[in-house]
Every structure is written in structure tokens, then in C-alpha cells.
Structure 1
Amino acid sequence: MSSQSKISDSKSVSKKSTSSANTVDITFPFANQSSIIRSVQFDEYYQDYLINETKNLFKQIFGTRKFIKYENKIAIISRFLYYILTSILGNQTLGEEYCEIIPIKNSTKTPPSKLTKIYGILFQIGFPQLTILFLNKLQKITKTSNNTKEIATKSTKSDTLKKFTHNQIPRLKTLLEKYIYAVHISLFYINGRYYEISKRILKNRYIFTRKLQKNEDKNKYEALGYIILFEIFIKLIKNSKSILSNVDEDEEKENNEGVPKQYNYLPEEEKNQRKCTLCLEFCKDISVTNCGHVFCWKCICEWCQKKNECPLCRQHIQLSQLYRIYNY
């Protein structure tokens, strides 16, 4: 009886060990800051390569003029294409594959679904661009409405609200670009959790798919995060008066310098004729090439430093052959 009991006990122990071995969760360590940053740098490198190749192909097919008009949109579409070919199709990005990391949901410790990946890419690429475009559009709308109602003797509540909105938009851009993103990066350096704002919103983290070496998981960037927070605090103290006051009036004067007031009241056809084909804005410091095409002085000078040819007709030009036009 004792031998049978021992055998039964050994069998039960072996069953428990095998069942416990089957139920053990294999956990992987979270990726550190250096690996995440290296992965992002690799992804940006290959994205830039794809963007340049797409731009060159677009320029060869549709010409320089349309290329200048759609250059920013080509870059955004190329970035989306990069993540569609890698992450959305279920693969690692080239940076993630190089650094041997994969994203997971912090709550469930499982890889994110395809829909979650799409949301993350939209937040990462599309949301900042759409936010800036929306703020620029809103600023233009409030500005034109203010200009058209300058003649009115009494200002209504809607006019004061539009004027207040127009003055606050540049400060909101400054807060978004300089302070909010900087605080986000400093928190990443301190705790190593979320490098992109999109991953912070969706609670997605990175884990290693390999065994770590000794002292590899130590946080080496915590001091840098606190230094950035201290720098932000000093900037806020210095710029507190300028943020609360009308700091952007001088910038508006610089941007509108050289643009006559009559330009805002011209028909759209005449406005298009007075625009520079490089920056697509009103021609400032008008200059003409030896082939007879008109551009902004600054735009055509920057163009000639890259290519010695007219952007429209491809005729050879030089900086010494540009002429300024006054009272045009």
C-alpha cells in the first residue's frame, strides 16, 4: 500500500507540475528608453527614404509646380503608407524588428488589435497635422471677419469672441509645440513608458522579445527627464508675461508686411494671379527671372541655391540674373 501510495503521489505531483507548467505566463521585460528611441530613429530614417522616393516619382510624373503644391500631403501619405506596409499588415516596423521590441496593451499585456493600431497611427500622424490645419483655418476665419467689420461702429459679442479667439490661437500653438510635447518627452525619459503621445492615449507599451543582458534594463535617462522639466519651468517663468499678453501682434505685422490692404478685397482670380507659385502666398519683394516669371525674392533665391533653373519653364537662371520689381 505504501508503494502504491508513493506512486500515486508522484503521479499527482507530476500532473500538478505539468499543469502548472502549462498555465505559467511567459512574461517579457518592458523595453528601455534607449531601445525605443533607437527604434523610432530607424523608422524615421526609412520613412524619410520613402518620402524622398515618393516625392521624386511625383515630381517626374506631375511636374514641379504640382509637387510644390502637394509636397506636405505627399509626406503625410508616405508616412501612412510606411505603417500600412508594416504595422497594420501584422508585421513589426523596421525599427521594432532591429531593436527586437513589439508593442502591447499595458492593461491586458497582449498585442494591440488592428483597429487599435489604426487609431494609433491616425493619432500619431494625422492628429497633429489636422490640429495645426484647424487652428490655421480658424485663425484666418476670425481674422477676415475682424477686417470686414472694422467699419462697424458697435462691436457685438460675436465680434469680441472672434477677436479673442484670433488672439489666443497663436498662444495655443506655442503651448502645444513647445510645452506640452516637452513635458510628455520628459515623462518618457523619467519612467520609460510612452514615447509618442498616441501611445500614451491608447496605453500601448513596448516589450523586448529577447533576454536582457546585465544592467541593460536600468533607467539611464531619468536625470535628463528632470532636467527638461526644470528647463520648462524656467521658460514658463520667463515667458509668463508674453504668453498672457499679446505677443503675436509683432509676428502678424511681420507676416503681413508688404501685403497691401486692398489685396484682401480683390476677387479670387486676381488674388491667384498675384500669388507666388513657390509659396502660394502673396508675392512679397517681387522679383522676376530672365525668362519673365514672377516670384517672391526670398522664394526664388532659396530655389536657385538648390537648382539653377526656373521652377516653371526649366530655363537656366542664376542669382545674378534676378531683378527686383517695385510698385508692381
Structure 2
Amino acid sequence: MFKVAGKAEIIRSQQKDEYYLTYLRKMSADVVHSLLGARAWITWRRELDLAADLGYFCLTTLSGFQTIGEEYVNIIQVDSSRRHVPSILRRLTMVLFHVLIPYTVRKGLDWLERRLQSHGLQEVPIATREFLLKCIPIARDLVLYTHRLHMAVFYMQGMFYQLAKRFNGVQYLQYTGGAQRVSDDSVSKSFRILGWLTLAQLAGSALLGTRAYLQQTYRKGAGLIGGSDTHSEVGGQVSPGRKCALCLGERSRSSVTPCGHLFCWSCIHDWCATKAECPLCREHVEPHRIVCLQNFDAP
């Protein structure tokens, strides 16, 4: 006996899958860290996560099998008719959309930001470069807000937990084996409340972000914030005082360890996730003792 999978079952399935995906990512990171060293791992950590995710979904969804999370709660993927499993083309599109699109967007925005900051696009007017640099954080926020909005819709309506499944029309049915299950109506109200709270939080974040942007624009127009480019790169080179020893690029959100060394916030936390020591002096470092230096980086 089959019924439409409830929100609780879908969420438990996703949590179980995320647990094993995290395990695969950690194992692949440990292998590369042991064989090639920390610098190679820092350089390729996103690609390693991408490979782990692709491997997991190719061995499960793309091959026509349930994921571990789906098997855990007895749910199966079906197409929009709810009578057939998704075709191989639909499953391939869903996997690529779910794994590759977020990676491509993130890498593309990072590449564009680096090129604009290092003056690599000399043919682009300065005013256009400054405008694009302002738009990149907005684009990142839009991606985050889109994900949160989709989650709010899921909490209120159910059906599609991931954007990739919504665009491909892939739904879930649950096999109950003839046993009587508790109706999803008993928990749907709680999820709807959570959905409305998510929408309220999203609206509040958007309003605060818009207010901060308008205030910054007003102060800059009033001459309180200098509009000139103050980056210290010359010809695309990063000055040694602003270079991260792990990624060898300009530090982003400079953070200091108890021993006094400076790194990117994300780089040093990724490092300490596998080895709790300073990569330069080998002094023991607890992640909670790393301090992000607010207003330290040049504007």
C-alpha cells in the first residue's frame, strides 16, 4: 500500500542522506589530506565535496536505487503522474541540477569577484566594475533567500524538499505495507507554523539588508565613505601582508589564532576541522578560540 510521503518522512530521509554525504566528504578529504598534504586539500576541497556528492547520487538515484535516507523511511521517487518511477533522463537532470548548479554558481561568482578586485578586466569601465562588485554579494544573498523561500513553501505545502525535484516534477510515495500510520494532518499544522516563521525571518532579513545597503549608499553619497579603490593589489598580485598562508590568496574575513597567525576565516576553520593545530607553528588550536577580526581588512 502506497501513500503520498509526508513532510516528516521526507525531512528524515534528507537528514539521513546528509549524514552519509558528510561522512563521504570527510573520508575523501582525509585521503587527499594524507596523500597530497593540506595545501592541496584546501585548494580542492569544494571539488572533493562535489565528487563525493556526485558519487553518492550516481550510485543511488541515477542507478535506479533508493538513497540510504529513502530506504530508511520506505519512500520511493515517482514522476508527476505518481504511477511511474522517473526516467533515466529525468534522474540525470535532477542529479546534475542538484549537485552542479550550486557549485557552478558559487565558483562563477567567486571567479568574477577575484577578477574584478584584481583589475583583471581592464576593458570594463571602473564604474561598471564597482557596480558589479556591489551586485555579487546581492547575488549570493538572492541564492540564499531563494533556498529559504523554497523551504518555507515546502513546510507549508510539502511535496518538494529540493529545488531540483520541483523543477523535474519528482515526488515521493511511501510504502506502508498495509499498516495504519498516523495521519500527516497531526503534524502539518506545526510545519505550516514553521513555514510562516521562515517567511517572517526571510522578510526581516531582506528588510534589514535593504536598510543597510541604503544607509551605506547614503553615507557614501555624503562623502563619509571614500569611493576610491583602496585595494593593495598591483597587477593582480596580493601584498604579503594580506595573503592567507593556506589558500595563498587575499585573506577574506581575516581571523587570528591564539598563536597570532592570520588566515581566512573559512580556510582556518576547514583546516581545524581535520587537524586542530596552527598550520604554521603547529600550536594546538581550538576552533572556538579563533577570532574573526571585524573591520581589520581594508575596505
Alignment TM-score, normalising by the size of structure 1:
0.68
User: Aligned pair in 2 of structure 1 residues 88, 239: CA closer, same or farther (>3 Å)?
Assistant: same
Secondary structure at the aligned position of 1:103 is classed as: strand
1:223 corresponds to which of 188, 193, 206: 193
Secondary structure at the aligned position of 2:161 is classed as: coil
Match of residue 281 from structure 1:
249
Match of residue 175 from structure 2:
209
1:71 corresponds to which of 20, 42, 45: 45
Whether 1:35 aligns to 2:1 is no
Match of residue 106 from structure 1:
80
Whether 1:190 aligns to 2:156 is yes
Whether 1:136 aligns to 2:110 is yes
Of Structure 1 and Structure 2, the greater helix share is in 1
| Per-residue Cα deviation, 1:56-87 (whole angstroms, up to 9, x for no partner) | 22222222221222122111111111111111
User: Aligned pair in 2 of structure 1 residues 190, 238: CA closer, same or farther (>3 Å)?
Assistant: same
| Per-residue Cα deviation, 1:67-120 (whole angstroms, up to 9, x for no partner) | 222122111111111111111111100000111001111146421112211211
Whole-angstrom CA distance in 1 between matches of 2:31 and 2:172:
35
Secondary structure at the aligned position of 1:225 is classed as: helix
- Aligned pairs for 1:258-269 (under 5 A) are 261-265=231-235
Secondary structure at the aligned position of 2:3 is classed as: coil
Whole-angstrom CA distance in 2 between matches of 1:309 and 1:190:
45
Whole-angstrom CA distance in 2 between matches of 1:318 and 1:90:
46
Whether 1:233 aligns to 2:200 is no
Whole-angstrom CA distance in 2 between matches of 1:301 and 1:163:
29
How many angstroms does 1:231 deviate by? Answer: 2.8
2:139 corresponds to which of 149, 172, 179: 172
Secondary structure at the aligned position of 1:216 is classed as: coil
How many angstroms does 1:286 deviate by? Answer: 9.8
Residue 245 of structure 2 contacts residue 263 of structure 2 at CA under 8 Å; is this kept in 1? no
What letter matches 1:281 in structure 2?
Answer: G
Stretches of structure 1 lacking an aligned partner (at least 5 in a row): 1-26, 150-155, 251-259, 320-328
Whole-angstrom CA distance in 2 between matches of 1:193 and 1:304:
38
Q: After alignment, is 28-37 or 50-59 more displaced?
A: 50-59
User: Aligned pair in 2 of structure 1 residues 167, 29: CA closer, same or farther (>3 Å)?
Assistant: same
The share of aligned pairs that are identical, in percent, is: 26
Residue 10 of structure 2 contacts residue 161 of structure 2 at CA under 8 Å; is this kept in 1? yes
Secondary structure at the aligned position of 1:198 is classed as: helix
User: Aligned pair in 2 of structure 1 residues 139, 62: CA closer, same or farther (>3 Å)?
Assistant: closer
| Per-residue Cα deviation, 1:214-248 (whole angstroms, up to 9, x for no partner) | 4423224122212222332333344432355657x
How many angstroms does 1:264 deviate by? Answer: 3.0
How many angstroms does 1:144 deviate by? Answer: 3.8
Which protein has greater RCO, CA pairs closer than 8 Å, 6+ apart?
2
User: Aligned pair in 2 of structure 1 residues 182, 165: CA closer, same or farther (>3 Å)?
Assistant: same
Q: After alignment, is 301-310 or 227-236 more displaced?
A: 301-310
How many angstroms does 1:185 deviate by? Answer: 0.6
How many angstroms does 1:271 deviate by? Answer: 6.8
- Please give the root-mean-square deviation of Cα atoms over the aligned residues, in Å: 3.8
What letter matches 1:279 in structure 2?
Answer: C
Bigger radius of gyration: 1
Match of residue 295 from structure 2:
none
Residue 47 of structure 1 contacts residue 79 of structure 1 at CA under 8 Å; is this kept in 2? yes
User: Aligned pair in 2 of structure 1 residues 241, 92: CA closer, same or farther (>3 Å)?
Assistant: same
Secondary structure at the aligned position of 2:78 is classed as: strand
Whole-angstrom CA distance in 2 between matches of 1:120 and 1:79:
13
Whole-angstrom CA distance in 2 between matches of 1:263 and 1:137:
16
Match of residue 80 from structure 1:
54
- Aligned pairs for 1:121-132 (under 5 A) are 121-132=95-106
User: Aligned pair in 2 of structure 1 residues 95, 66: CA closer, same or farther (>3 Å)?
Assistant: same
Whole-angstrom CA distance in 1 between matches of 2:194 and 2:276:
45
What letter matches 1:183 in structure 2?
Answer: L
Whole-angstrom CA distance in 2 between matches of 1:58 and 1:123:
26
Whole-angstrom CA distance in 1 between matches of 2:211 and 2:120:
25
Whole-angstrom CA distance in 2 between matches of 1:35 and 1:111:
19
- Aligned pairs for 1:45-64 (under 5 A) are 45-64=19-38
Match of residue 128 from structure 2:
161
Aligned residues: 267
Match of residue 119 from structure 1:
93
Residue 246 of structure 2 contacts residue 263 of structure 2 at CA under 8 Å; is this kept in 1? no
